[in-house]
């Protein structure tokens, strides 16, 4: 049972990274969109590239944080699986149940792809969804 609790704890840690990354990515993309449209109005008193640069910076921080969280999670789960396999081989625990795939990790990878699409949209001025 302790392996299951440890696995769930690692998933919760990755979920907190996902939550923070999602906030950074969405806030950065929103700032980029809102202020870019605001610059089109007459009399806008803001530097032309400021919203783009600030939005890109926030999205990049979100993407980098997510990549670090995914790497940490994969490394930790690999070590945990190896330890479990060794304990099964030594006869210390029963290994009858399967070690499930982390749905949280799948969600993190999907969010990473969305973040990469967002940064490509901002940097190269392409519209992947429109």
Domain ranges for the chain? 1-124
- Phi/psi at 123 (5° precision): -75, -45
**Length of the chain, please?**
130
Q: Give pLDDT tens digits for 31-77.
A: 888 887 777 777 666 677 778 888 999 999 999 999 999 999 999 99
pTM for this structure? 0.83
Rounded-to-integer distance, Cα 36 and Cα 55, Å: 10
Structure tokens at 68: 């670090």
Identify the CA nearest to 54 among candidates 85, 32, 76, 73: 32
Sign of the CA dihedral running 114, 67, 62, 101: positive
**Cα separation, 64 vs 44, whole angstroms:** 32
Q: What angle do CA 108, 110, 114 make, to 5 degrees?
A: 115
Question: Per residue in 84-127, pLDDT tens?
Answer: 888 888 887 777 767 778 899 999 999 999 999 989 888 887 77
CA distance 82 to 43: 62
Report the alpha-carbon distance of residue 117 to residue 119 in Å, rounded. Answer: 6
């Amino acid at each position: 049972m302790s392996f299951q609790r440890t696995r769930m704890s690692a998933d919760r840690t990755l979920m907190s990274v996902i939550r923070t990354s999602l906030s950074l990515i969405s806030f950065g993309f929103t700032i980029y969109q809102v202020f870019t449209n605001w610059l089109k109005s007459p009399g806008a008193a803001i530097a032309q590239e400021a919203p783009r640069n600030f939005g890109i910076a926030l999205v990049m921080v979100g993407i980098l944080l997510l990549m670090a969280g995914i790497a940490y999670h994969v490394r930790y789960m690999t070590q945990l699986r190896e330890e479990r396999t060794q304990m099964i081989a030594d006869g210390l625990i029963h290994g009858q149940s399967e070690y499930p795939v982390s749905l949280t990790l799948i969600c993190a990878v999907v969010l990473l792809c969305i973040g990469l699409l967002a940064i490509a949209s901002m940097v190269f001025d392409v519209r992947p969804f429109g």
